[in-house]
Amino acid sequence: MELKSLTNLLSLATRPKPQVGSTPADVVWEENKWKLLHYRPRAEGTKYQTPLLLVPSLINRHYVLDLMPGKSFAESMVQRGFDVFCIDWGTPGDEDRFVTFDDVVDRWLGRAIRVASKMVPHEKVHLLGYCMGGTLTAIHGAVHPERIASMITLAAPIRFNDGSLLSRWTNVKGFDVDVLVDTLGTVPWQLLQSAFHMLRPTLTLSKAVSLLDRAWNDEFLDGFLALETWGNDNVSLPGEFYRRYIKALYQEDGLLAGRFSLAGQRVDLKHITFPTLAVSFEHDNIVPGPSAGVLIEAIGSQVKQHLHLPGGHVGAVVSKHAAKTLWPQLEAFYAAHDAPPKTAEPVVDRAVMEAVAQVLPLREVRAPEATTPKAQHPEVREPRDAASMRVDAGTTKAAPGPLREVRAPETKAPNGPKGAEAAKSKLGELRAAPQAAARDGAAPPKTKPSPPRVAGTGSRTAPKAAVVKRLPAKKPAGKPSPRLAR
C-alpha cells in the first residue's frame, strides 16, 4: 500500500487529467457569454415529464454539478429519467463590466427557464440552485413563479447578515465596493478565490494530509484531482452585478427585509407558492445552516421542507456519499411534484369497427338544410301574431322558426269493411304459403329480408324525417299579374 501511494504521488505530474463535465450535452441556447446545456436523455427515454434546470453559482464553473463519471449529479439525474438542463454562465470579460443583476437574474435566467419549459406541454420546470445559484432562483421565483413546478436550493444564502465571516468582511467600513468596481470594472477571480481561502486558512494543508493518507486509492485520487481542477477554475464577476449583490444583499440584507427589487418589481418571498426544499449542511463554512434554512420560514408555499445534513459546502453535494444519501432524496422530491400523467386518447379497435359495420350496414345520411336568411329570400315571411313551429327530423320536439306548415307523411289504408276483409285474407295467404310449399316439396317463396334493427330505437327502419313544405308567400292585392292578364 505504501509503495502504491508513493508511485501515485510521484506520477501526479504525468497522471492523465480527470474528465470533468463529460456528460454528453448539446447547446440549445447561447447569448453573450452564457449557454444553456441540454444533457442527452437516456436511451430508454425520460421517466418524468417536467424538465430539471440546474442553476450553478456565477463564481465557479457549472461542471461542479457534472464533475466526473460516477460523481456527477447531472449524470445521475439523467440516468434516473429526468430531462436535465444546466446553465453555463461562461467567462465574463472586461466588456461585461456593465452587466447588471437584472440582466442575469431577470433576463438570462428567465430565458433559460422559458427555453427549457417549452420542451413540455405544461411549460413548467423543476429548479435546482446551488450556492449563489439558489439565491438567484429564489429571487426569480418570487417575481416570476408561473413556469416553476418546484424548487430546491442547495446551500443557498438567504439571510446575509448572519454573523459569518463573509458577512462581517463585507460590512466593515474599510470595504468600499463602489471604489472596487469603479476601479477594476470586472471583479477578478483571484480576489474572490483568496477571500474563500481565508475562510479556512488551513484547508490547503488539510487537503495535502488527506492526499498523503489515501494516495494508494486510485478512485480517491481521480476524484480529488477532479475537485481540485474545478476549485481552481474560478470565474470573474461583472462589476455592476457584484456591486448590487454586495450592497443590496450582504450589506443591507434586503431580501428578507422585503426591500430588494428585480427589474423594478419588489421581491416578496411570500409569492413563492410552489413546492420548495431548502438543503443546508452542518459543516458549511461559506453558507451557515440558518442562513439557508430561513427560506422555508419566509416563503408562502404550503409544501415546503428544510433538509439539514452533515457535510461541507462542496463535498456533501459531489461525492459518492452524496450519491447514496442526498441525490435519492432530491429525486424523490421532484418525483412527488412531477406533472400528472397524460390522459390516454381513446383507441378505436379496427376489428370492432368492422364488426359494427357488418351488423349495421351503411345508410345514406342527408345533412339538414341550412336555414336561409330571410334577407336573401324576401318571399318567406314570418308570422307576427304567433310563433311559428318546426319539427326536427327524427324527434318530437318543436322549436320556433320561420316555417309555415308541417304536414305528416300520408299513409293509404283500405277503406270500409271490404278492405279490412281483403287485408285479412291476404295475410292468411302469406302465412300459409311456406307450409303449402313444404308439403309439395317446393322451395318456399323468396321474401325480402327485414332490415336490421337500428341501434337505440327498437325499430327495424330508421325514422323518416317529417316532410316540410314551404307555402308560397301571398302576393299583395293590386294589379293582376301580366301573365294572368294575357
Q: Angle at the Cα of 41 (from 35 to 44), degrees rounded to 5? A: 175
State which H helix or E strand residue 306 sits in: strand 304-309
Q: Percent of the chain scored above 70 by pLDDT? A: 70
Residue 16 pLDDT level (bands cut at 50, 70, 90): confident
How far apart are the C-alpha atoms of 382 and 401, rounded to whole Å? 8
Q: Angle at the Cα of 233 (from 243 to 4), degrees rounded to 5? A: 150
CATH code at 2-336: 3.40.50.1820
Q: Angle at the Cα of 55 (from 286 to 194), degrees rounded to 5? A: 35
131 counts as catalytic: yes
Contact criterion met (CB below 8 Å) for 390 and 399: yes
Cβ atoms within 10 Å of 303's Cβ, excluding its own: 13
The gap from C-alpha 357 to its chain's centroid, in whole angstroms, comes to 41
Nearest Cα to Cα of residue 85 among 115, 49, 121, 107: 115
Q: What is the CA radius of gyration of the chain?
A: 41
pTM metric for this prediction: 0.70
How far apart are the C-alpha atoms of 267 and 138, rounded to whole Å? 9
How far apart are the C-alpha atoms of 154 and 326, rounded to whole Å? 10
Contact criterion met (CB below 8 Å) for 406 and 468: yes
Q: Which three cell numbers stand for residue 482?
A: 301580366
Question: Phi and psi at residue 322, in whole multiples of 5°?
Answer: -65, -35
C-alpha to C-alpha distances, 324 to 42, 72, 308, 337, 388, nearest whole angstrom: 20, 12, 16, 21, 79
Catalytic residue among 77, 131, 142, 299: 131
- Direct distance between the N- and C-terminal alpha carbons of the chain, in angstroms, rounded to an integer: 131
- Please check the confidence at residue 246 and state whether its pLDDT lies above 90: yes
Contact criterion met (CB below 8 Å) for 279 and 290: no
pLDDT (0 to 100) of residue 210: 87
State which H helix or E strand residue 265 sits in: strand 265-266
Cα atoms in the 13 Å half-sphere on the side-chain side of 4: 9
pLDDT tens digits, 271-313 = 999 999 999 999 998 999 999 999 999 999 999 999 999 999 9
pLDDT tens digits, 45-81 = 999 999 999 999 999 999 999 999 989 999 999 999 9
Domain borders along the chain are 2-336
Question: Phi and psi at residue 466, in whole multiples of 5°?
Answer: -65, 145
pLDDT tens digits, 310-333 = 999 999 999 889 999 999 999 999
DSSP 8-class letter at 270 = G
Cβ atoms within 10 Å of 266's Cβ, excluding its own: 12
Nearest Cα to Cα of residue 131 among 11, 299, 267, 281: 281
DSSP 8-class letter at 349 = P
- Please check the confidence at residue 341 and state whether its pLDDT lies above 80: no
Cβ atoms within 10 Å of 408's Cβ, excluding its own: 8
Q: What is the DSSP string of 233-252?
A: -B--B-HHHHHHIIIIIIIT
How far apart are the C-alpha atoms of 409 and 431, rounded to whole Å? 29
Nearest Cα to Cα of residue 288 among 132, 193, 157, 135: 157
Place of cell 334577407: 375
C-alpha to C-alpha distances, 36 to 140, 175, 180, nearest whole angstrom: 17, 35, 31
The pLDDT of 369-380, averaged and rounded, is: 45
To the nearest whole number, what is the mean pLDDT of the chain? 80
Q: Angle at the Cα of 207 (from 205 to 212), degrees rounded to 5? A: 100
Question: Phi and psi at residue 397, in whole multiples of 5°?
Answer: -85, 140
The pLDDT of 103-129, averaged and rounded, is: 96
DSSP 8-class letter at 295 = H
Contact criterion met (CB below 8 Å) for 87 and 336: no
Q: For the chain, what's the residue count?
A: 486
Question: Phi and psi at residue 485, in whole multiples of 5°?
Answer: -65, -35
pLDDT tens digits, 423-463 = 556 556 655 655 555 555 555 555 555 555 544 444 444 44
DSSP 8-class letter at 133 = H
How far apart are the C-alpha atoms of 43 and 162, rounded to whole Å? 46
